[in-house]
Structure 1
Amino acid sequence: MTDYDVLRVFCAPNGGYGNELGVVREGSVLPDREDRQDLAAKLGFGETVFVDDPERGIIDVYTPTRRLSFADHSCVGVAWLLDVPELVLPAGEVGTRLDGEFTWIEARAEWAPPCVFHRYATAAEVDDLPVPPAGDWIYAWAWEDEPAGRIRARGFPGRGDGVDEIEATAAPALLLTERLGRALNITQGAGSQILTAPQPYGWVEIGGRVFLER
């Protein structure tokens, strides 16, 4: 089996929760896209990253079923692992920075896949939501503290493939930040934390904690 690291991205302050990520640091061992897709399917992580050039930050990202042009939690995780000023993906160049316990990337909202936003009156309503039937990608959210920018959210991909809810994904957060035009502090899933901040010229920063699992 090809060597790989396992990270958790967008973790809570105590290091819990977050979304698992597989990273193959020596992408050259599997140069063929079909082989990479096969390995991503076997590993079964939401995303698996192949590092093609660790110094220039060139990476290639796959879900178990397809190749991605941009991947938010993969970029945050690999930015922490490689500590490089930028990452290069098919979608474009992603600026990165480390700031204490948080790792940040800079991305554009148009890189994120579309989703349907359902806003609720209270965080408790979001907590109590049942998993919706397969269909639209739904991002359910409510203000926990609007003046402070604190949001409670859950993400339901609606694919009907057994993944009913995604613990931590920043793609909808990227879109919501652009829509609201303000920095957000999001508690998503069972307890993951995602930070965002709008930047000039259509860019949005996404930040989170990363822990090495193995």
Structure 2
Amino acid sequence: MTPYDVLRVFCDAGRGYGNELAVVRDGSKIPGETERQAMAAELGCSETVFVDDPERGVIDIYTPALRLPFAGHPCVGAAWLLDLPELITAAGEVGVRLDGEFTWIEARAEWAPPRVLRQYASAVEVDSLEVPEKGEWIYAWAWEDEAAGRVRARAFPGRDDGIDEDEATGAAALLLTQQLGRALNIGQGAGSQILTAPQPNGWVEIGGRVVLER
């Protein structure tokens, strides 16, 4: 198989948890969409990134089931790995900045795929949810501390690709940030952490820690 790296994106302060991301640094070895889709399905990560131009930051993103113009945790992971000032996705140019232990990207909410943002009364209620029936892509969330901007969230892609729950999802966090219009500190999945901040003119920053798994 073509060589690839595995990262964990949106880790907690102890460098644990995070959502796995596969990155094929030499995307030219797998130029066709059909072959890329097959590799993404075989790897089984929630997303796989193919780097088409490591100097310009041109990337191509796939789930096990489909190609995405933009996705949050793949862009944060690729930004950390490639160490470039921007990435070029099918949706548009993604700004990048590194701030100590955090890697930040800047993107637009309209680039994110549709998500159902479903608010619950408490974090306990979110924690107790069962995986729903296939169909809608649901981002279940509740305030842990509204004054401090702390959110508890879980993500259910609703697809038949073996991924019942996403550990950390930057695109959904972007949509929630745009909807609420404020900076958020999101605890998602088993223990991942996503930071967000609205920016002028419809942009949103998404930040997190990244670890090279293998």
Alignment TM-score, normalising by the size of structure 1: 0.96
1:149 is matched with which residue? 149
C-alpha displacement of 1:129:
1.4
1:203 is matched with which residue? 203
Matched residue type, 2:153: A
1:158, 1:40 → 2: CA distance? 18
2:125, 2:99 → 1: CA distance? 33
2:51 is matched with which residue? 51
Matched residue type, 2:163: V
Q: Is the 8 A contact 2:53 2:59 kept in 1?
A: yes
1:121 is matched with which residue? 121
Q: Work out the number of aligned pairs and report it.
A: 214
1:133 is matched with which residue? 133
1:82 is matched with which residue? 82
SS in 2 for 1:50: strand
Matched residue type, 1:33: E
C-alpha displacement of 1:160:
4.1
Change (3 A) 1:44 1:161: closer
2:101 is matched with which residue? 101
SS in 1 for 2:17: coil
C-alpha displacement of 1:159:
2.0
Percent identity between matched residues is 74
1:28, 1:168 → 2: CA distance? 28
SS in 1 for 2:55: coil
Q: Within 5 A, what are the aligned runs for 1:166-181?
A: 166-181=166-181
1:36, 1:159 → 2: CA distance? 19
SS in 2 for 1:141: strand
C-alpha displacement of 1:33:
2.2
SS in 2 for 1:152: strand
SS in 2 for 1:75: helix
Matched residue type, 1:205: E
The more displaced of 127-136 and 177-186 is: 127-136
Give unmatched runs, 5+ long, in structure 1: none
The more displaced of 137-146 and 182-191 is: 137-146
Q: Structure 1 segments of 4 or more deviating over 3 A?
A: none
SS in 2 for 1:104: strand
1:212, 1:152 → 2: CA distance? 25
1:41, 1:14 → 2: CA distance? 30
C-alpha displacement of 1:135:
2.3
2:111 is matched with which residue? 111
Give unmatched runs, 5+ long, in structure 2: none
Q: Is the 8 A contact 2:123 2:152 kept in 1?
A: yes
Matched residue type, 2:27: G
